[in-house]
Amino acid sequence: MKIGLIADTHNLLRPEALAALHGCDHLIHAGDIGGPQILAELEKIAPLSVVRGNNDQDTWADTIPEDLTLRVEGVTLYVLHDLKQLGIDPKALGIDVVIAGHSHKPLQESRDGVLYLNPGSAGPRRFKLPISVALLHIDGDAVRFELIALQV
């Protein structure tokens, strides 16, 4: 299973991001989407799970959850926008991977047996941070993270 991870599009869905996510089995957008047209474009690629970011305040985003838990093959994923808002103990709840956006900084870090991931920002450049998306490869209970820096 190949899951595409994208975050912080801020109403800018680059063709390079779409190309990098093509062929995924599922997509996850970790918030700060920008508008419903971003979701519509991503849904053309694969089934989409999404959380609301702090900038997704208009009525179109009212039904988007602030967090969600997904079970993919043997792996439990927890998605939220801002890792600083994590109000649960992932390890105690049996979560294997926490996926967040917000910081615009790519992250792959293991803490207490839980993998924390941030695909970085696929939208407008912030400071000198890279423009990126990521792939999460799941094979049974094995997980591999692949960061894709977009050439824009």
What gap in Å lies between CA 146 and CA 28, rounded to an integer? 14
**Cβ partners under 8 Å of residue 15, min gap 6:** none
pLDDT at 6: 98
What gap in Å lies between CA 33 and CA 122, rounded to an integer? 10
Residue 144 has pLDDT above 90, yes or no: yes
What gap in Å lies between CA 150 and CA 7, rounded to an integer? 13
pLDDT at 126: 83
Q: Report pLDDT digits (tens) over 95-118.
A: 999 999 999 999 999 999 999 999
Whether the full predicted model's pTM is greater than 0.85, yes or no, is: yes
| Kind plus residue range of the DSSP H or E element containing 40 | helix 36-43
- When pLDDT is averaged across residues 14-28 and rounded to a whole number, the result is 97
Confidence class for position 128, pLDDT limits 50, 70, 90 = confident
* 3-class DSSP state of 21: helix
- When pLDDT is averaged across residues 9-22 and rounded to a whole number, the result is 97
Instruction: For each of the domains in the chain, give its residue range(s) and CATH number, in order of start.
Output: 2-149 (3.60.21.10)
Q: Report pLDDT digits (tens) over 62-96.
A: 999 999 999 999 899 999 999 999 999 999 999 99
